[in-house]
Amino acid sequence: MLLELPNYYEDHAIELQLGERVARIDPSLRVLELSGGRRVFYDKLLMATGAALRHMDVPGHDLDGILYLRTLRDCDMLRGLLQQHPHVLIVGTGFIGCEVAASARQLGCEVTLTGPDLPLAHVLGKELSEIYAGYHRGKGITLKTGVKTTAFSGAGHVERAVFSDGSTVDCDMVVVGIGVTPNIELIAEHLKIENGIVTDEFCRTDVEGIFAAGDVANSWHPRLGASARLEHFDNAQRQGEAAAKAMIGKLEAFDTVPFFYSDQYEFRLIYRGMALSWDRVVIRGAPDTGSFSAFYLKNRRVLAVCSVNRYAKSVIAAQLLHHEIDSAMLVDESVAVDHAFGK
């Protein structure tokens, strides 16, 4: 599927080479080999190979009715099946798992959502995962957390899942959302790899002429003072632009504020900034009304703001990013959020 109309590529002198995978790369000769055998020489190379789904390999993983969500086709098939109102087990409490759980529930399915952690805990931490657990339970989802799925069984088609505590859940279908791994195989032997292709803030890898961007890149972010591999399309799009500039010699550090959103039921979450670790979460507003902002702080400095159903306010709240704040003023909704800068 193309992201632009076909004439866009022609108009911009972009040659499309579709329907073939890159099979090999030889950086010493600056050449790629396509799966059909054709060789393509390059001066500069951008690795934007994204990430691949992590698959389950427990006993019974290959039964019919165990599905993954990656492509538009997966999505169409899943929607068709959910409209038949099966009992769905969703393995994985990350964004994909939680969003599929919400959609399945809204389509009238009985839903069990399972994983070792509470919903979204790995990104949003304890406080918000408890809030999201409450939202999902409130919509009628059965949460089965603190366990791993250890096996599936059924006569050809999945009928039951078994968990690490020995318990079981009967189900008509399973959707697995247990994360992705960066697609590095093509180039791994030639480049520095650490949770993806390592780049500097200009998307440059450790090999002259090779750049990386998007889900596959673990890039240095001056604003974060750390390297991070982000799995969000806003990052992929904007980092792609930065990489293109760097490739034609216009070096501009890629240092934008990370941003993503997630829709679950009527709750629209907007996250700005990036908190890799924090020492405090300050909540402004009332989560039980479905409208609040959470500020992730380290040494009183705001690292990230996660807002639910507060789009306009989240834009203003983002002004606090990287500043010290007065948390007493921040929780007080009678004080404008941008007045909460620390003394």
Ligand X SMILES: Cc1cc2nc3c(=O)[nH]c(=O)nc-3n(C[C@H](O)[C@H](O)[C@H](O)COP(=O)(O)OP(=O)(O)OC[C@H]3O[C@@H](n4cnc5c(N)ncnc54)[C@H](O)[C@@H]3O)c2cc1C
Contact set with ligand X (CB under 6 A): 21-22, 48-51, 69-70, 96, 183, 186, 214-216, 231-234, 236, 260
Between 69 and 123, CB nearer to ligand X = 69
Report which of 313, 262, 320 is spatially closest to residue 295, judged by C-alpha positions. Answer: 320
- State in angstroms the smallest separation of the CB of 24 from ligand X: 9
Q: Quick one: 22 or 123, whose CB is closer to ligand X?
A: 22
We find the least distance from the C-beta atom of residue 117 to ligand X, in angstroms, to be 19
Residue 265 beta carbon to ligand X: minimum distance, rounded to whole angstroms = 15
Taking the least distance from each CB to ligand X, the nearer of 50 and 290 is: 50
Signed CA dihedral, 203, 321, 93, 118: sign only? positive
| Residue number, 49 or 330, with CB nearest to ligand X | 49
Q: Is 52 left (phi over 0), alpha (psi -120 to 50) or beta?
A: beta
Is beta strand 110-115 parallel, antiparallel or unpaired with respect to 87-91? Answer: parallel
Distance of alpha carbon 287 from alpha carbon 132, whole angstroms:
9
Q: Contact at 8 Å (CB) between 329 and 310?
A: no
Minimum distance, C-beta of residue 239 to ligand X, in the bound complex (Å) = 8
Our CB check for ligand X shows the closer of 70 and 160 to be: 70
User: Whose CA is closest to 145, among 161, 175, 165?
Assistant: 165
Q: Is 95 or 337 the residue whose CB approaches ligand X more closely?
A: 95
Cα radius of gyration rounded to whole Å, the chain: 22
Q: How far is the CB of 32 from ligand X (least distance, A)?
A: 9
Q: How far is the CB of 64 from ligand X (least distance, A)?
A: 21
The interaxial angle of helices 95-106 and 121-138, nearest 10 deg, is 10
In Å, how far are 137, 149, 167, 243, 280 from 162, measured between CA atoms? 21, 6, 6, 45, 36
The burial of 73, by beta-carbon neighbours within 10 Å (0-12 exposed, 13-18 middle, 19 or more buried), is given as: exposed
Which C-beta is closer to ligand X: that of 94 or that of 154?
A: 94
Q: How far is the CB of 243 from ligand X (least distance, A)?
A: 11
